[in-house]
Structure 1
Amino acid sequence: MADPNSPARPFRPSRQMVKPLAELIDACIAPVLAKQGFAASDVVLAWPEIVGERLARHCEPVRLDWPGGSRRRYDEEVEPATLVVRVTGAFALELQHMAPVVVERVNSHFGWRCIGRLALRQGPLQRRPVTVPTIRTPDPAAVRMVDERVADITDEGLQEALRRLGRAVLSG
């Protein structure tokens, strides 16, 4: 039996106990997404990365409509689904023209042809629009320090890349 007067050992979780937050979120929202035809939360959570920040500000995925209304497993040979996308009114025409690009981006993200077409639904977005973070201007003294540190690099491309990286780090 442990001595009640001895200091307690700090709790250190084992690697088996620690899970990435994405796994926990996926497990929580998977049932809701499954009702809307999504087998994974990827398309919803990664929408800005899939279609780009500009498109993500004006549209969002709503559901996947599988042919015949069936929700099949991804490993089965199935006809591609229709991705229903909610889009702000003024942006609908532009998204209609970009539909083949969006379909290709979604399919590339998943690695197979799961989406055959888009169905657009005009209306207000259900979530807050994606905001692009503002970039602060770095201190001029810090910029000079970065320029001095990379001045000895002979490869001009590498030098410029390191200069941009240093300025981005200092302005972040």
Structure 2
Amino acid sequence: MNKPRRHARPLPDIAGALLADAFRKQGFNSSELVVRWAAIVGHDVSQYAEPLKIQWPRVPDGHKPEPGTLVLRVAGPAAIEIQHMSGVILERVNRYFGFAAIGRIAIRQAPLRRAPPAPDRALDPQAVRSVAETLPAQADPALRGALARLGAAIKGK
């Protein structure tokens, strides 16, 4: 008797189902808020904060659902700034959802769970010198040096 052949399932199908359960346990109906966080709130917020979970209030039967609380993990020193920007963050998240899904933001101070940024690459001293030679004479040598480094960094990209 022949056994039915099993074909390998695509990885996104398997991972999507597993991740959907994990996101649902954290209050996210879909992974969109986490995956598109930087696009939703902007780079100015996403570099210091990330969504941790959404806490939905319990609603008795027959009552209108209330907005949830978005819990953010925020890098320690940026917590005050993120707290001041909470109105902007609420507006951006609710605009993404298309309705007032989130009513308030709670902040948890903790290191962000992402890879550390790549170190800045060093400038080539010869490139800095060649840019400095093209600059007009400056009264302030520190300004001339800063402009030479800036020019070399721009040329190097």
TM-score by length of 2: 0.61
Runs of 5+ consecutive residues of structure 2 not aligned to the other structure: 1-9, 119-156
Give 2:133's aligned residue.
none
For residue 26 of structure 1, report the CA deviation from its aligned partner: 4.0
Counterpart of 2:97 (choices 107, 110, 127) is 110
The CA distance in 1 between the partners of 2:117 and 2:38, in whole Å, is 8
Q: Secondary structure at the match of 1:30?
A: helix
The CA distance in 2 between the partners of 1:48 and 1:33, in whole Å, is 18
For residue 126 of structure 1, report the CA deviation from its aligned partner: 1.6
For residue 31 of structure 1, report the CA deviation from its aligned partner: 0.3
Across the aligned residues of Structure 1 and Structure 2, the Cα RMSD in angstroms comes to 3.0
* Residues 92 and 103 (structure 1), Cα distance of their counterparts in 2 relative to 1, 3 Å cut: same
Q: Which runs of structure 2 are paired with 1:2-81 in the superposition (5 Å)?
A: 26-68=16-58, 77-81=64-68
Aligned partner letter, 2:27: G
Q: Is the 8 A contact 1:53 1:130 kept in 2?
A: no
Q: Which runs of structure 2 are paired with 1:134-149 in the superposition (5 Å)?
A: none
Q: Is the 8 A contact 1:56 1:130 kept in 2?
A: no
Counterpart of 2:71 (choices 68, 73, 84) is 84
The CA distance in 2 between the partners of 1:83 and 1:108, in whole Å, is 14
For residue 130 of structure 1, report the CA deviation from its aligned partner: 7.3
Give 1:122's aligned residue.
109
TM-score by length of 1: 0.56
Q: Secondary structure at the match of 2:103?
A: strand
Identity of aligned residues (%): 43
Which string of whole-angstrom CA distances, capped at 9 and with x for unpartnered residues, describes residues 97-150 of structure 1? 00011011011111111100100000101223678xxxxxxxxxxxxxxxxxxx
Counterpart of 2:85 (choices 98, 102, 111) is 98
